[in-house]
Amino acid sequence: MLGRITRSGLLAMAACFALCVQSVGAMSDDLETKAKAEKSLVWYTSDSVQSAEAMAKRFQQKYGISVQINRKTTLPLVEQFVAESARGRSPADVFTVIGMGPMASGIAEKKLLASYVPRGAEKLPAQYRVGDTAFAYILSPMGVAYNTNLVKPEEVALLKSYKGWLDPRFKGRMAITAPIGGTTGGNMLLLQERYGVGFIEALIKDQKAVVYQTVATTGDAVISGEQAIGLNLTPGVALQAAAGAPVRYLSQDDWTFVVPAVAGVSANASHPNAARLFMNFLFTEEAQKLHADTSYWIPILPGVKPSYPKAEWLELPKNPVTTEDPIKFDRDINANIGNWRKILGW
Amino acid sequence: MKSSFLSISSLTKRFGDVTVLNDVSFELGKGECVALVGPSGCGKTTTLRCIGGLEYADSGSIRLEGKTLSEGPHAVVPQDRQMGMVFQSYSVWPHLTVFENVAFGLKLRRVSRSEIEKRVRDCLSLMNIGHLAERKSFQLSGGQLQRVALARTLVVEPKVVLFDEPLSNLDAQLRAHMRTEIRALLKRLNMSAVYVTHDQSEASVVADRTAVMHQGGIKQIGAWKDLYFVPSSRFVAEFMGAGNLLDGSVKGTEGNRVIVDVKGTTLQIDEDRCAFEPGIGSAITVYAPREAIILSALGQSGITGRVTQVLPGPSIFEVSVDTPLGTLMSVKVATDDIPQVGEQCSVALLPAHLSGFPFEPDHVTEAH
Amino acid sequence: MSKYLDKGVLGAVWLSLIVLVLVPLVFIVPAGLGLTDGNFLAPVVKFLNDERLPAVLRNTFLLATCVTIVSCILGVLFALAVERTSMRFAWLAHQMIMVPILVSPLVGAVAWVTLARPSTGFINVAWRTLTGSRDPLFSIYSFAGIALVISLHVAPYVYINVRNALQNIDGAMEEAAAILGSHTLTTWFRITIPLAMPAILSSALLVFVLTLETFSVVGLLGGPAGFVTLPFSIYLAINLPPGDWNYAAFEGLLLITITGLLMILYWKVIGASGQYAAIGGKGFRLVSKVGGKVQGMLVVVVWSYAVIAVVLPVAALLLQSFLGFTTSRFDNMIFTLANWQRLLDAPAFRLAFANTMIVGAVAATIAVVIGLFVSHFSIFERMRSLEWLAGLPLAYPGIVLGMAFIFTYNGTFIYGTLAILILAYVTQFLPFTTRALSAPVMQLDKGMDEAGKILGAYTMRRVMRITAPIVRSAVFSAWLIAFTRGIRELNVSIFLYTPATIVMPVLIWNYMEQGTFSQAAALSLLQLFAMLFLVAIAERLGRRFESV
């Protein structure tokens, strides 16, 4: 099963489409004019809230086109978009979910997306695009975090490998995000593939990990000190460190599962030009940097240098892994969910 | 009887197994007032509500000036019947002033504003409540409310006014006053009316004719005096007042007199005043109104009785005497010589005022 | 012509009830039976083979039972304290007891997470500091925690019903017992409580059903507790991959069947208690009230509740709304106005606020108008089936209704507009507005309506010009009941909202899900204050209305 997971140095991967950055500046005036005439657009997105709002705001400032955000987690958002499209027209113009799998099988296969290659995304490798319809624009790492008030330095070393999480010292001190979406579910599947299902059972049953429903609630449990350590978290928790919270995001030695946020233009968009202009915007250096600054996720454009705060708050993934066959990967997650729910008592 | 203006024929209505109206028929002349009386549950209110269209009969018909208002299950809605109704609880709308209450029906008829103003004012003065026009219902007394309700009904000049026990919530004095006023008003406006009450004395004042109802049917209809002096059944007799009911059997006839034996005493009844064809030996109840029992000093003709009770009243005294016929009740005007309890006296039954109807063996008295 | 208009009005009322109340159910049935995708009975088979099934059903009923017992005991004690003791500030106690009804249980749950999470909840931190204990006093992520939050929220329903019953019991009955030398408690147990038993029983059923339907609290606290009830299971079926709507629909059908049967029982009990109420006259106020030890204990219970259910949660929300990040260590706390600023600046907030007001007001108005006509036809024209139909949604769990509306209207032109939210809200409000209006209409002298009829007025005019103005204070309070429910409606809105039609409770839920707790707390407080403000206005206007 490991075959589906390729390890790839992100920087190496990004290098192959370095040229893209140059074309970004010169957008078609024609598209911009038509887009401005449409005045607004609706963005269905599972992206980080802060980043989505920041980018929407910036886009509006730049082009005077207002962006209405419908933010939901991936599965309900896909359901909503599919159901709306099935019996009529969805209000969505731009559609974003986390994970290539749901985008490919749930949306693109159903011909719900228009063919449009955004400026700047032309050279994206195949694993980060669904034909000419959907394109990954940012990578969300799924990792761990700890509360600096509650975890001793020698314990931090243990946390760097998932094996270390079974150390008795952590018993009753950990939070875990439920495998509710493709990202958390993906990491869960990796854990199961690498260490066996017994590992997950040990986390829940022996280590008494408390299960929270979303990444945000797990993060809050760590930040507030409710739990000392948290698993299945995005680097977003470290944003709170800037506000003074005693929290650190940790890079794992084992691996860091990386999932892209993927966007496409709705085939039935009411604001097709504004949607295309927005897609172009997502692949500008400006947008990529803005996203990285507000989520601490990893920009997909190689040249972008996020202004990450103090490095000690946040260790970027040393060993990112991603999937080659996202559709099958998704199916595997779905096949295992029932079993995981049994372990979680859900 | 005047020519038929409102005609009710064979109204029948059931609620499940209970027959509330059973073949009710009567006629109402133009300008006439008929009272429906009877104990509660007798069907008088249901009859009234069927005429108004608030309830629908299962069968039978109602016609107004020859036009059919209801025929079996087909019925004209109340809105189109041109009736007026005065309710027991007044039902004066509390959120409207007296003026607005009375003007309501005129507005519905799209009468011009100045016309409404004039007609409402006129009607209010007619009812002697002109000064209350701007008041609301909570500022009015019961009698005033009843006048408002009446004004609201009369101002639209309905063809028939339906009264549903309109005075039963008023105190006795006011009730006595209002009933004469209603009578006068109806006559003055030549208004046809059906008047439901459980009080037969109220009916006697207000109505031209009275129908006594019992168990969903009309037992007897006629002028009050006829009902009082010549009831056609024990029920009507008991309902109309405290007369004397003497059970006996028919001995035979003599000319146009029916000879009746009551406990060994022979009484004679005018054949015309007998509600049925009396065969020899048939059981009969002789009705003797109190006024037909004449008490005089002992030694006069008649049977002998002993006074057992004297009930004084404002104008008449009620005297009970024990006789071989049983205890009889009589009345004396207050200015007469009133006999003493225990006194013996002669008792005569005036044959001209006796009447008879078939004896009912197992009747249940529901009158009150 | 007006005759036909009259038939039209009746037809419109029937049609609106059928569309609002029956049609959504019709659409959920085929989905729940697997007819929509050709896998006939697949959801049923899946359900029966589901290993979690026994636990889910056990949890659902256990929770409802415990909440019912706790809230009934609390509600009866509150009612006795307010109505049968001479406690001071009884009016304030009454207001405090009523506050939780105004707040959505979700807000209560948010506040209680802050107060009683095992490690960092303020109560547990205080407990550890005071006692030196290493264990928390109480964890909100537990069966007890979930039961507590729901009980605190539903106890006022029991209180208000039992209080009404106590007010209607002829005080002479209790005085008679007192004269015979009966001790206060003996009187209460032998006379007062048995007389109020129909009210207690009917509120117990109502509370039981409300708890069966509760999704938000279990959804927020049940995850970490590993505690799943039927409504939460429905939510999970949709939100965990692979989302299985048909399975959710089947679970929804099961839930609605259970609540439906219980509501039939509830209506039976209410009918019986209606006869019971006739025993006591109205307006018999007990002159002699109880003091002493009994009063002392009840006063403690009432004010403890006020602190636990109102003061502490509001304080916790207030604190949270000013925190830079979540923490319970005072030395770590950073206070900021940023949360409030961000909330008030957010376009989503302004949109949600406007939408909530529009949807709430329009839906409340429609529900009141329909309720008024339903009451009219049901009482004046003896069409009781209309009233029964309008009361049916009381048995619809919000989460099932939301799902049913999705099945019914997804893809139609009203989907994604405020109109669909309005329709769903009207359905939910109907039982409340109809009940609030049918009671005063029932008491109305029927002659009021018949007088209009005989004078020539058709239904429309009689309802709008006679019935409605006469019962206007009930119309107003029915509207307000509906509107306040609208302000905190989550279960249905969460299914039906789109970015343009977001409402405040959904925004709170989203803030919670996105981890912006401080903004969620700030918005929750705003919602609470808006409610209190409205109710205060209502009480003033209500008094003015009644005095006319």
Q: Over the stretch B36-89, which tens digit does the pLDDT of each residue have? A: 999 988 999 999 999 999 999 999 999 999 899 999 878 899 999 999 999 998
What residues of chain C lie within 8 A of the CB of B149, using their CB?
451
Which of B88, B93, B109 has its CB closest to that of C456? B109
pLDDT at C1 over 70: no
Residue with tokens 């099934």: C53
CA atoms of C225 and A212, how far apart (whole Å): 9
Residue type, C255: L
Specify the pLDDT at position B276: 85
**pLDDT per residue over C136-173, tens digit each?**
888 999 999 999 999 999 999 899 888 888 887 777 77
What residues of chain C lie within 8 A of the CB of B78, using their CB?
450, 453-454
CA atoms of B98 and B90, how far apart (whole Å): 12
Backbone angles phi, psi at B284, to 5 degrees: -140, 150
- Optimal mutation site among B85, B86, B95, interface C, most CBs of chain C within 10 A: B95
Average pLDDT of B310-326? 87
Using pLDDT thresholds of 50, 70 and 90, give the confidence band for residue C290. Answer: low
Residue A201: exposure state from Cβ atoms within 10 A (0-12, 13-18, ≥19): middle
Using pLDDT thresholds of 50, 70 and 90, give the confidence band for residue C42. Answer: confident
- Optimal mutation site among B15, B46, B79, interface C, most CBs of chain C within 10 A: B79
Using pLDDT thresholds of 50, 70 and 90, give the confidence band for residue C5. Answer: confident
User: Quick check: do B and A touch, 3+ CB pairs under 8 A?
Assistant: no
Determine, for residues A79 and C120 on separate chains, whether the beta-carbon distance falls below 8 Å. Answer: no
Closest Cα in chain C to B105:
C455
Query: Touching C: which chains, 3+ CB pairs < 8 A?
Result: A, B
Specify the pLDDT at position A245: 87
Closest Cα in chain A to C141:
A210
Which of B89, B108, B156 has its CB closest to that of C445? B89
Closest Cα in chain C to B53:
C454
Which of C141, C239, C412 has its CB closest to that of A210? C141
- Measured distance between the N- and C-terminal CA atoms of chain B, rounded to whole angstroms: 30
Closest Cα in chain A to C518:
A220
Share of chain C above pLDDT 90, in %: 35
Average pLDDT of B320-331? 89
Using pLDDT thresholds of 50, 70 and 90, give the confidence band for residue B339. Answer: confident
Specify the pLDDT at position A6: 44
Using pLDDT thresholds of 50, 70 and 90, give the confidence band for residue A311. Answer: low
Contact B89, B169 (CB under 8 A): yes
pTM of the model: 0.83
pLDDT at C274 over 60: no
Which of B94-103, B303-312, C212-221, C518-527 is modeled with the greatest confidence? Answer: B94-103
Determine, for residues C512 and A217 on separate chains, whether the beta-carbon distance falls below 8 Å. Answer: yes
What residues of chain C lie within 8 A of the CB of B162, using their CB?
454
Closest Cα in chain B to C458:
B79
Specify the pLDDT at position B125: 92
Which of A91, A216, A333 has its CB closest to that of C515? A216
User: Quick check: do C and B touch, 3+ CB pairs under 8 A?
Assistant: yes
Determine, for residues B78 and C2 on separate chains, whether the beta-carbon distance falls below 8 Å. Answer: no
Using pLDDT thresholds of 50, 70 and 90, give the confidence band for residue C531. Answer: confident
**pLDDT per residue over A186-235, tens digit each?**
899 999 999 999 999 999 999 999 998 888 889 988 998 889 999 999 88
Average pLDDT of B199-207? 91
Specify the pLDDT at position A310: 66
Q: Which helix (H) or strand (E) holds B286?
A: strand B283-288
Minimal CA separation from A122 to chain C, in Å: 31
Q: Which helix (H) or strand (E) holds B61?
A: strand B59-64
What residues of chain B lie within 8 A of the CB of C471, using their CB?
none
Closest Cα in chain A to C502:
A70
Specify the pLDDT at position A18: 38
Could you give the angle at the alpha carbon of B206 between the alpha carbons of B200 and B208, nearest 5°? 95
Closest Cα in chain C to B81:
C454
Specify the pLDDT at position B281: 84
Average pLDDT of C110-124? 88
Using pLDDT thresholds of 50, 70 and 90, give the confidence band for residue B366. Answer: very low
**pLDDT per residue over B166-175, tens digit each?**
998 888 888 8
Specify the pLDDT at position C13: 95
A–C interface: beta-carbon pairs under 8 A: 139
The DSSP symbol for A165 reads G
What residues of chain C lie within 8 A of the CB of A214, using their CB?
513-515
pLDDT at C376 over 60: yes
**pLDDT per residue over A137-194, tens digit each?**
999 888 899 999 999 989 999 998 999 999 999 998 999 998 877 788 889 999 999 9
Check residues C243 and C479 and name the one with the higher pLDDT: C479
Q: Which of residues 95-124 of B touch C (CB under 8 A)?
A: 95, 104-105, 108-109
Average pLDDT of C428-442? 90
Minimal CA separation from C3 to chain B, in Å: 8
Check residues C35 and A281 and name the one with the higher pLDDT: A281
Minimal CA separation from B94 to chain C, in Å: 7
Contact A236, A50 (CB under 8 A): yes
Beta strands in B125-271 (DSSP E): 160-164, 192-197, 209-214, 217-222, 244-254, 257-262, 265-270
Specify the pLDDT at position A232: 92
Taking phi over 0 as left and psi of -120 to 50 as alpha, with beta for the rest, A256 belongs to beta
Using pLDDT thresholds of 50, 70 and 90, give the confidence band for residue A4. Answer: very low
pLDDT at A16 over 80: no
Share of chain B above pLDDT 70, in %: 97
Question: Distance of CA A315 to CAs A146, A310, A312, Å?
Answer: 12, 10, 7
Average pLDDT of C25-33? 85
Pairs from C74-77 (Cβ < 8 Å, separation ≥ 24): C74/C151, C74/C155, C74/C158, C74/C159, C74/C301, C74/C305, C75/C155, C75/C156, C75/C157, C75/C158, C75/C159, C75/C161, C75/C162, C75/C200, C75/C203, C76/C158, C76/C162, C76/C193, C76/C196, C76/C200, C77/C298, C77/C301, C77/C302
Which of B79, B91, B162 has its CB closest to that of C448? B91
Specify the pLDDT at position A180: 73
CA atoms of A240 and A242, how far apart (whole Å): 5
**β-pairing, B217-222 with B209-214?**
antiparallel
Determine, for residues C455 and B104 on separate chains, whether the beta-carbon distance falls below 8 Å. Answer: yes
Which of A87, A91, A211 has its CB closest to that of C410? A87
Which of C450, C455, C469 has its CB closest to that of B95? C469
Average pLDDT of B149-162? 94
Specify the pLDDT at position A159: 92
Specify the pLDDT at position A56: 94
Determine, for residues C453 and B87 on separate chains, whether the beta-carbon distance falls below 8 Å. Answer: no
Determine, for residues A342 and C52 on separate chains, whether the beta-carbon distance falls below 8 Å. Answer: yes
Check residues B25 and C263 and name the one with the higher pLDDT: B25
Contact A204, A191 (CB under 8 A): no
Determine, for residues C516 and A49 on separate chains, whether the beta-carbon distance falls below 8 Å. Answer: yes
Using pLDDT thresholds of 50, 70 and 90, give the confidence band for residue C74. Answer: very high
C460 touches chain B (CB under 8 A): no
Average pLDDT of B247-263? 88
Task: Report the C-alpha dihedral over residues A57, A58, A63, A67, rounded to 10 degrees.
Answer: -30
Specify the pLDDT at position B242: 67
Residue B98: exposure state from Cβ atoms within 10 A (0-12, 13-18, ≥19): buried
Specify the pLDDT at position B1: 43
The DSSP symbol for C192 reads I
pLDDT at C287 over 80: no
pLDDT at C542 over 90: no
B301 touches chain C (CB under 8 A): no
Check residues C192 and C402 and name the one with the higher pLDDT: C402
Specify the pLDDT at position C280: 40
B–C interface: beta-carbon pairs under 8 A: 67
Specify the pLDDT at position A255: 87
The closest of C532, C520, C501 to C356, measured between CA atoms, is C501
- Optimal mutation site among A226, A248, A341, interface C, most CBs of chain C within 10 A: A226
Specify the pLDDT at position A82: 87
- Optimal mutation site among C495, C513, C516, interface A, most CBs of chain A within 10 A: C513
Question: Distance of CA B45 to CAs B9, B48, B210, Å?
Answer: 16, 5, 14
B298 touches chain C (CB under 8 A): no
- The tally of CA atoms less than 13 A away on the side-chain side of residue B128 is 7
Average pLDDT over all residues of chain C: 86
